[in-house]
Homo-oligomer: A and B are copies of this chain.
Amino acid sequence: MRVLGVDPGLTRCGIGVVDGVAGRPLRMLGVGVIRTPADSPVAERLVLIEQGMEQWLDEHRPEYVAVERVFSQHNVRTVMGTAQASAVAMLCAARRGLPVALHTPSEVKAAVTGSGRADKAQVGAMVTRLLRLAAPPKPADAADALALAICHIWRAPATNRLQQAVAAHRAPPVRVPRGTA
C-alpha cells in the first residue's frame, strides 16, 4: 500500500510518501514540505497548500492519505492554523475518493518508536532506520509526515480487522442452508 502522510501546518506542512505492507521493509518514495509565507493572508496560504497537495497527489498517486489529528491543548493560535491546513489536506484527498485516516501524535510515536511519549529526535531516528535513509529527514515536519505514513501502514491490518468486526456485528452474514442453492 502507498500512503501519503501529512503533518499539517500553515507555515510548514510536512509531506511524506511511503510504500509497503506491515511486516516487510518499507520504501520512501518522497518527502518534503509545503511552505507558505507567514505574512500572507490565511486564505491565500490555504490556496498555496491546496496547490502543493495537488502536486504531491498527482506525482505519487497514493492509495491512502494519513493526516495528523489536530488537538487543541497546544498553543491556541497555532492550533487554528493547523486545523485549517489539515482541512485543506483532507479535502484534497477526499474529493479524489482517497480514504483519509487521522492518527493522533501519540499513536504515531507509539507505532514508530514503541512509546507514545517519544521525542522528535527518537521519531526522526526511527524513521531514518525504518526507511534506510542516510540521515534524518529535515525539517522535523517532514520526518513526522513519514512517521504518519508508516503508522498508517502498520496499523492498517488491525484497523481493517476492527472494521470487519464492526461490519460483521452490524450486518451478520446471510447463511444459505446447504442444498437450497
Contact = CB atoms under 8 A, between A and B. Distances in A.
A41 B102 CA distance: 10
Nearest to A93: B43
A41 to B, nearest CB: 7
A84 B70 CA distance: 11
What DSSP secondary structure best describes chain A's contact surface?
helix
A91 B47 contact: yes
Of A83, A86, A87, A90, most buried by chain B (CB within 10 Å of CB) is A87
Nearest to A91: B46
A131 interface: no
A80 B88 contact: no
Contacts of A72: 72, 76, 79-80
Nearest to A82: B83
Interface string A72-101: 100010011001111110110111000010
